[in-house]
Amino acid sequence: MSIEVRNVSKHFGAFTALGGVSLKVETGRLTALLGPSGSGKTTLLRIIAGLEFPDPAADPGAGQVLFHGEDVSQVSAGKRGVGFVFQHYALFKHMTVAENIAFGLTVRPRRLRPARPEIARRVNELLRLVQLEKLGGRLPDQLSGGQRQRVALARALAMEPKVLLLDEPFGALDAQVRKEMRSWLRSLHERLHVTTVFVTHDQEEALELADEVVVMNRAKIEQVGTPQEVYDRPVSPFVIEFLGNVNRLAAGSGKLRPPDADVLYVRPHDVDLQRGPGSTHSLRARVLHVFSAGSYGRVTLERLDNGEHFEAEVARDRLRELDLQQGEEVAAMFRHVRLFPRGQFYEADVRDGRLTEASSDAAPTHGAGEHI
């Protein structure tokens, strides 16, 4: 079932949680709402679920939530057919795992309620799906965090929701379990193909898991796109800074003189280091630290012209070859630079010393209007 949010605003007192947000989620997609805390992502999720209601809007068509083209703005949470997984799972502590999962079925009006054996069969099926076959008789307190999470998921799935919503699904888990759960959720989604929206503040999680990433900031949507789109073609300084590591450098000084931009962004893996004087287009920098543990080496450098610090990611072989010493001077060359002159998006390449404006079709087609 597709989800559409039309120009939804939400205020809590003087605080603006959502300032006129519109979004479309296609059927069967796995979508991430990504943003820092306070960006409105959880509020948006709760509005989709019907746990929160949009501010009343003056003009018709605004402040609406549509499921499959049908306005559900005034429909209560229980009638929307949404599965919701809470950040802290909200399992019913006095019920066993099986009773928790069966809850959604047992509260149905009698004529819609499946018979007991049918409920038991469904519960077993779901326990198998979330790989907790043996634990149906346990209480939530007797489970680990990852297991509780899967119970919460099974409970939400029991009512065969058309839409699955997850609030920070891995937020309360430790790093190792989080990775496992991530790939498990991905494979589960591939099996069930339920339209799924999850909230996260972890960019790695969003990029790795989602078909589509919705980047949110300060009650607005900054950008919507595939993980590759938002990573490779960010539409705003916020998006490039929020997604992945990036160096933010003062432009206009030294040899980097792009038109109309004060700041340029370079991903650490787009920085090339060389011994010697380098070309006329490279930056002179001093090596501050070299970290060589990990899948690639990380070098922290200091610009000689203005003292700014920046990072380079260098392949391990290349790092060994260079054999950089602390305090040594090197030439740094940027393969790709990103500028946001006067709020415009374009890509630049300084390998040959020229900043070439990227063709306009490189810009993502659905940015967030005035915010770019």
Partner 1 sequence: MPARPHRNVLPGFGLSLGFTLAYLGVIVLIPLVALFARAAGLSWHDFLAAVWSPRVVASYELTFGASFLAALFNVPFGVMLAWVLVRYEFPGRKVVDALVDLPFALPTAVAGIALTAIYAKNGWFGQWLEPLGIKVAYTSLGVWVALTFIGLPFVVRTVQPVLEELEPELEEAAATLGATRGQAFRRIILPALRPAILTGFALAFARAVGEYGSVIFIAGNRPMHTEITPLLIVTKLEQYDYRGATALAAVMLLGSFGLLLLVQLVQRHYARPGRA
> Exactly one of 1, 82, 126, 314 binds partner 1 (CB under 8 A); which one?
82
Is residue 172 close enough to count as binding partner 1 by CB under 8 A?
Answer: no
Rounded to a whole number of angstroms, the minimum distance from the CB of residue 241 to partner 1 is: 32
**194 Cβ contact partners less than 8 Å away, ≥ 6 residues apart:** 28, 83, 157, 161, 162, 163, 164
Is residue 116 close enough to count as binding partner 1 by CB under 8 A?
Answer: no
Distance CA 298, CA 292 (A): 6
Which residue, 154 or 214, is less far from partner 1 as judged by CB? 154
Check: CB of residue 203 under 8 Å from CB of residue 243.
yes
Is residue 153 close enough to count as binding partner 1 by CB under 8 A?
Answer: no
**233 Cβ contact partners less than 8 Å away, ≥ 6 residues apart:** 225, 345, 347, 362, 363, 364
Rounded to a whole number of angstroms, the minimum distance from the CB of residue 24 to partner 1 is: 22
Nearest to 177 by CA among 199, 198, 151, 146: 146
Assign 278 to helix, strand or coil.
coil
Question: What are residue 77's phi and psi, to 5 degrees?
Answer: -55, -45
Distance CA 43, CA 45 (A): 5
Give the binding range for partner 1 (CB under 8 A) out of 85-93, 195-203, 245-253, 349-357. 85-93
**Of how many residues is the chain composed?**
372
Is residue 120 close enough to count as binding partner 1 by CB under 8 A?
Answer: no
> Binding pattern to partner 1, positions 217-246, x when CB under 8 A?
------------------------------
Nearest to 261 by CA among 330, 358, 177, 344: 344
Which residue, 192 or 358, is less far from partner 1 as judged by CB? 192
Which residue, 151 or 350, is less far from partner 1 as judged by CB? 151
Is residue 96 close enough to count as binding partner 1 by CB under 8 A?
Answer: yes
Distance CA 304, CA 255 (A): 12
Is residue 88 close enough to count as binding partner 1 by CB under 8 A?
Answer: yes
Question: What are residue 312's phi and psi, to 5 degrees?
Answer: -125, 140
Is residue 159 close enough to count as binding partner 1 by CB under 8 A?
Answer: yes
Is residue 12 close enough to count as binding partner 1 by CB under 8 A?
Answer: no
Assign 157 to helix, strand or coil.
helix
Cα angle, residue 117 at apex, residues 77 and 100 outer, rounded to 5°: 40
Is residue 177 close enough to count as binding partner 1 by CB under 8 A?
Answer: no
Which residue, 80 or 267, is less far from partner 1 as judged by CB? 80
Check: CB of residue 91 under 8 Å from CB of residue 119.
no
> Exactly one of 53, 103, 184, 231 binds partner 1 (CB under 8 A); which one?
103
Site size toward partner 1 (CB under 8 A) is: 31
Rounded to a whole number of angstroms, the minimum distance from the CB of residue 92 to partner 1 is: 6
Give the binding range for partner 1 (CB under 8 A) out of 29-37, 82-90, 277-285, 324-332. 82-90
Residues that bind partner 1 (CB under 8 A): 49-51, 76-79, 82-84, 86, 88, 90-96, 99, 103-104, 107-108, 137-139, 155-156, 158-159
